[in-house]
Amino acid sequence: MATARRGLRVVVVGGGVGGLCLAQGLRKAGIDVSVHERDDSIRGRNQGYRLHISPDGERALRECLPERVQALLTATANSRYGFGMANYDEHLVPQWTPEMSDPRADQVDKVDAVDRVTLRKVLLAGLTGAVHFGKRYTHHEVQPDGTVAVQFADGSVDTGDVLVAADGANSVIRRAQGFPEPRDLGVRTIFGRIPMTERLRAELPEILQDRFTWVIGSDEHKLGLMPMVFRTEPATASARLWPELAFEPCDDYFMSVFSMHRTATGMPDEQFLAMSGAQLWEFAKARTTGWHPHLRAIMEFADVEETFPVAVRATAPIELWEPGPLIPLGDAVHAMPPSGGVGANTALRDAATLTRELLAADRGEQPVALASERYQTEMLGYATDAVAMSLQVAKWSLKRIDFDESVLPARVAG
């Protein structure tokens, strides 16, 4: 016998990758959801460019997204060149590279990398009225009837049966719960965007345009170059598939990642992290004067306005939150270094897992507290593995990170 739906109401703080994917999943499942994002728009701040989408991340997206949104995502995904990674030294002499086989080699509509801003725009599609920008969470209160009143800086309040903390690695909700901040791994990274102009394509050998290139300099500096080549340019894709969305035009580009240990920057953190895009590129060029001319040339094409520094951090070990109406998702509960390319994928997997559990709660099959516990138990397993894998890749590719593995649970340490 079919049971009546409970009419669960979910309030999400944070309209990033995880929060928006969750909203799509809940809407698709017929659950009332509202998302509150502190930025005024999707393009609010520097947030990184190309995102690798793993098979797990792709599966989660397909589970959460309605068909029309999925079609837009597939159309705007990276059109794959070569699979895997190619390693070089700074003179472009090939180095040992881990063997990787492409589990999606035969999948013509695969989504294995996306532009982050385009992904977030796609994730907004069809969520009319559910996502509110310019809403900075300040605090919340669990009321006597068990609902949660969520307060925002503009004085507004939203109330739900569940509050999902999807407010990222600097989560204020996490901090208020008394959990420790993610650990500083001592790695400092300059993220940049290098438009793939016709001139750049003509000047660079095909091999550098083909796949994820990782250059390990002999002096501890590393450079990653990841091509983002849209299957269909986003404005063209939205005009064809969803004209009301009117995406802005966006050209192909390389995402660049220039990394070193904190002590190798030669300056205090406050100074490094406050540098402008132009200063960061001058810094990178000064550190690579002896590098191969192709690598030097590519830096000349960088978009300095779209360059920013990041201090790489990780949550280890992951700690579970008290099962109840306050539920964490994504970087708010498990930040990890971008080197593994799975932080966003893990947040997407959280969204799909939590959607399933909240749907069961909405159907009256379990209380919200049990939904939270079941989701977090499942999340703890795959997210701990993802953090451990990201740390291992960071150790291998960055050579020097500040991390004591003994803080990881025994099942993944070493």
Ligand X SMILES: Cc1cc2nc3c(=O)[nH]c(=O)nc-3n(C[C@H](O)[C@H](O)[C@H](O)COP(=O)(O)OP(=O)(O)OC[C@H]3O[C@@H](n4cnc5c(N)ncnc54)[C@H](O)[C@@H]3O)c2cc1C
Q: Does 15 help bind ligand X (rule: CB under 6 A)?
A: yes
> Which lies closer to ligand X via its Cβ, residue 161 or residue 331?
331
Query: One symbol per residue from 124 to 153: x for binding ligand X (CB under 6 A), - otherwise; what is it?
Result: -----------xxx----------------
Q: Does 384 help bind ligand X (rule: CB under 6 A)?
A: no
Distance CA 336, CA 56 (A): 16
- Contact segment (CB under 6 A) with ligand X among 161-169, 289-297, 316-324, 377-385 equals 161-169
- Contact segment (CB under 6 A) with ligand X among 11-19, 25-33, 174-182, 296-304 equals 11-19
* Number of residues near ligand X (by CB under 6 A): 33
- Hey, how many other C-beta atoms are within 10 angstroms of the C-beta on 331? 27
> Which lies closer to ligand X via its Cβ, residue 177 or residue 236?
177
> Which lies closer to ligand X via its Cβ, residue 299 or residue 310?
310
- Count how many Cα atoms sit within 13 Å of the Cα of residue 334 in the half-sphere of its side chain: 32
Q: Which of 12, 25, 34, 36 binds ligand X (CB under 6 A)?
A: 36
Q: Does 52 help bind ligand X (rule: CB under 6 A)?
A: yes
Distance CA 369, CA 201 (A): 54
- H/E segment holding residue 116: helix 116-124
**Three-state DSSP class for 40?**
coil
DSSP string, 260-322: EEGGGG-S-HHHHHT--HHHHHHHHHHTTTTS-HHHHHHHTT--GGG-EEEEEEE--S--PPP
DSSP string, 206-244: HHHHHSEEEEE-TTS-EEEEEEE-BSS-HHHHHHHH-GG
Q: Does 13 help bind ligand X (rule: CB under 6 A)?
A: yes
Closest distance of CB 3 from ligand X, Å: 32
Q: Does 168 help bind ligand X (rule: CB under 6 A)?
A: yes
Q: Which of residues 298-337 bind ligand X (CB under 6 A)?
A: 310, 330-332
Which position's Cβ is nearest ligand X? 16
Q: Does 345 help bind ligand X (rule: CB under 6 A)?
A: yes
**Phi and psi, residue 17, nearest 5°:** -60, -45
- To the nearest 10°, report the CA torsion of 263, 266, 268, 272: -100
Rule CB under 6 A: which residues touch ligand X?
A: 13-19, 36-39, 48, 51-52, 135-137, 166-168, 172, 191, 310, 330-332, 338, 341-345, 347
